[in-house]
Amino acid sequence: MKEWWVQVGLLGVPLLAMYLHIPPPQPSPSLRSWRASGTFFTYKDRNIFYRDSSGAVGSSDVVILLHGFPTSSYDWSKIWEGLTQRFHRVIALDFLGFGFSDKPRPHRYSIFEQANVVEGLTRHLGLQHHRINLLAHDYGDTVAQELLHRSFRPLALLVVPMEIIPTPGTPYPTSLSVTPGANPRLCSPWMIHNQGFLLSVLQYINQRKKHRDRWVGALVSTSVPVHLIYGPLDPVNPHPEFLQLYKKVLPMSTVSVLDDHISHYPQLEDPMGFLNSYLNFINSF
């Protein structure tokens, strides 16, 4: 009789092959609507999805929204309408490799390139000489830090944390879908079939460690008003240790702490609380 593991292997190979060829789920109606309301610009022959909405009459303020990992600009959908009531223009993009933007493979994804993409979008929209507010979450926080380092001077920077103060030994969550808003496709055959692609995007974690002084230094030295919106149940930035470190490193930053049950995606979990915190910050100067 053959070893049991040989039999399991012989059975498992065809099942795995079938599993990998299951097509990814189709976008929901709301996600299809989100795509239809946006458009694309070209960055180095790559198609980058973005959405640009005109809003408040009489305001000249612009806000650019930078999403996190492993999601997309759709993370901002629940606060989009509220932002358009305050800002003249509300702009969000899908970073290269995310959402509806191109996903080249093989490719060396980097925070530096994503900052280039943001700068390319501002040029495309004719905003390179405008003062822009930045609202960033997770992966987008690090892109915002790189923009600060390059003397990209927004009117204000709001951050929704994910190791915005990266420290050696800070754990990365073992489950990429521990919070509401994490992309369910990561639990599908798409994740297994695209592990190489996923790992190439995840290189930003090593980049954070390597360039810690550059990116934390940009936050520490900036004169731009910085605000943090924080969910105490965030598994990536545990309470209260993260807040203690944040306030120690950035004593000039203001902070909004949401209800105890709010986690890593506050703009999705508590859109009204998030929006009120952000607008109170923006309207304070």
- Tell me how far apart the terminal alpha carbons of the chain are, to the nearest angstrom: 77
Look at residue 23 and tell me if it is in a domain: no
**Are 140 and 146 spatial neighbours (Cβ–Cβ below 8 Å)?**
no
Q: Which residues of the chain have pLDDT under 50?
A: 1, 8, 168-193
Report the CATH number at residue 56: 3.40.50.1820
Q: What is the pLDDT of residue 158?
A: 82
- For 144, the domain range is 40-163+187-283
Query: pLDDT tens, 65-95?
Result: 999 998 999 999 999 999 999 999 999 999 9
The contacts of residue 154 (CB under 8 Å, 6+ apart) are: 131, 132, 133, 134, 147, 148, 224
| Residues 264, 62, 82, 280, CA torsion sign | positive
In the chain, the number of structural domains is: 1
Look at residue 181 and tell me if it is in a domain: no
Look at residue 16 and tell me if it is in a domain: no
Look at residue 96 and tell me if it is in a domain: yes
Look at residue 106 and tell me if it is in a domain: yes
Q: What is the pLDDT of residue 128?
A: 83
Look at residue 26 and tell me if it is in a domain: no
Q: What is the pLDDT of residue 191?
A: 42
Q: What is the pLDDT of residue 155?
A: 86
Look at residue 5 and tell me if it is in a domain: no
- Residue by residue, what is the 3-state secondary structure of 212-257? HHHHHHHHHHCCCCEEEEECCCCCCCCCCHHHHHHHHHCCCCEEEE
Q: What is the pLDDT of residue 11?
A: 56
